[in-house]
Amino acid sequence: MAETFQITNVLEGIREAVSFGKKKIVGIDIGSSAIKVAEVSVQGRGKVRLHRFAHIPLPEGAIIEDEIIKGDEISTAIEDAIKEASCVGHAVCFGMAGQHSITKKIQVAGGSKDEVDDQVYWEIEQFIPFDIDDSAISYDVIGENNAGGVDVVFCAAKSDAVDNYKNLFEQANIKVKIVDTNIASLINVFEYNYQDKVKNSDRSYIILDFGAQRTEFIVYREGTLSFCKEMNIGGLVITEEIQRKMGVKYESAEDLKIVGDSSGNLPEEVLSIIDDVVEVFLVEAKKTLDFYIQSTSDETIDHIYVTGGSGQIPGFIEGLASALGHEVSIFNPLENIDYDKHFSTEEINYIGHCGAVALGLAMRSGD
């Protein structure tokens, strides 16, 4: 039997999601290239404020295709990030992503609570890529749809994978309070930052989380998740190609990809590698967008927002706008979030590109 997932609500409204005088939760984003930690609180009138943030790079190959390879080093990095952010002793919320989890919107016929529950679990079994009896599951009924049924958003994660990640925290003597999904956390922090524009809009907005090993293609419409697809391409491909063709180490290849050489210039060879990989990405993104439009008849795409470290790749935003035919900009998770004065310009820039998931996880209730 599937166990109950630890998310109290899959897509919490921000007023319920942020802790009002309750015990704070530290959000921890376990990426394939870095650990990111965030702590927020609520000021007057529900205004969110960021107090602490830290990130610790992970060694090459620490996580490969969502499998934990270097557990001890990941656990040490988590502990170091918590200490650097001065969040020792706090309970945490971490997010699941990749092949061991899924977040999806479905439709069911409706009925009583028990009837909906049965329908949802039957539908979930058709979609999840793992055994439902080895799954942690949560779902929310979003509301009625035009077909006479109800819309539901569910999250599911493979129980063994959740336990493996929780073990990393236990090794670091850190208590896990909530297990979330990265997709749900992205949607929550996106809605908070852009709520005046998107909350009651009849337009659709795309969020592209361009990470190291994958890209999440998320469509937000009418106050909730409308569509989500994982694209198996990310910035790590560029890093690996730079390593292979230029004979440099992982860290040097990462620097070359984003900031160039010691003079801030991108060598022609690096530009060629970036262009080749980005072209493949743009083709996949266009296919995904076309599939979404054809399957839903949704012609209301308003804007595309990009988050994730790989979104800093030179020329990526411009190429994406040209390929998809829509306005594209960086999704800044600090657009409507205040932050303490101790953060440097460099730190704020990093959070703006790479901190959205950690912030979204930190904005969960501590109840």
**Highest averaged pLDDT of the listed ranges 32-46, 205-219, 234-248:** 205-219
30: phi then psi, degrees, rounded to nearest 5: -95, 95
Residue 267 falls within a domain, yes or no? no
Q: Which residues pair with 206 in a beta bridge?
A: 219, 304
> In the predicted model, is pLDDT for residue 355 greater than 60?
yes
Residue 224 falls within a domain, yes or no? yes
Residue 2's pLDDT band, with cuts at 50, 70 and 90, is: low
The predicted model scores a pTM of: 0.89
Residue 225 falls within a domain, yes or no? yes
Q: What angle do CA 84, 88, 91 make, to 5 degrees?
A: 125
Q: Pick 5 or 209 by higher pLDDT.
A: 209
Encode pLDDT of 63-112 as tens digits.
988 899 999 999 999 999 999 999 887 889 999 998 899 999 999 998 89
> In the predicted model, is pLDDT for residue 43 greater than 80?
no
Q: What is the pLDDT of residue 305?
A: 96
Instruction: Characterize the bridge pairing of strands 135-144 and 150-158.
Output: antiparallel
Residue 157's pLDDT band, with cuts at 50, 70 and 90, is: very high
Q: What is the pLDDT of residue 25?
A: 84
Q: What is the pLDDT of residue 365?
A: 65
Which of the residue ranges 39-43, 156-160, 263-267 would you say has the lowest mean pLDDT? 263-267
Q: What is the pLDDT of residue 7?
A: 42
Q: Which residues contact 137 (CB under 8 A, 6 or more apart)?
A: 2, 3, 4, 5, 121, 124, 154, 155, 156
> In the predicted model, is pLDDT for residue 17 greater than 80?
no
Residue 6's pLDDT band, with cuts at 50, 70 and 90, is: very low
DSSP per-residue codes, 200-230: T-SSEEEEEEE-SS-EEEEEEETTEEEEEEE
Do the Cβ atoms of 72 and 42 come closer than 8 Å?
A: no
CATH of the domain at 304: 3.30.420.380
Rg (CA), the chain: 20
Each as own residue / partner, the long-range contacts of residues 4-7 (CB below 8 Å, 24 or more positions apart, any chain) are 4/136, 4/137, 4/138, 5/136, 5/137, 5/138, 5/155, 5/156, 5/157, 5/179, 6/136, 6/138, 6/178, 6/179, 7/138, 7/155, 7/178, 7/179, 7/180, 7/181, 7/184
Q: Which domain holds residue 101?
A: 3-238+274-362
Q: What is the pLDDT of residue 15?
A: 34
Residue 230 to residue 51: CA distance in whole angstroms: 31
Count of domains observed in the chain: 1
Residue 55 falls within a domain, yes or no? yes
Residue 281 falls within a domain, yes or no? yes
Residue 208 falls within a domain, yes or no? yes
Residue 347 falls within a domain, yes or no? yes
Residues shown for the chain: 367
Q: What is the pLDDT of residue 23?
A: 57
Average pLDDT of the residues of the chain? 87
Encode pLDDT of 287-309 as tens digits.
999 999 999 999 999 999 999 88
The pLDDT > 90 percentage for the chain reads: 56
Residue 101 to residue 10: CA distance in whole angstroms: 13
Residue 247 falls within a domain, yes or no? no
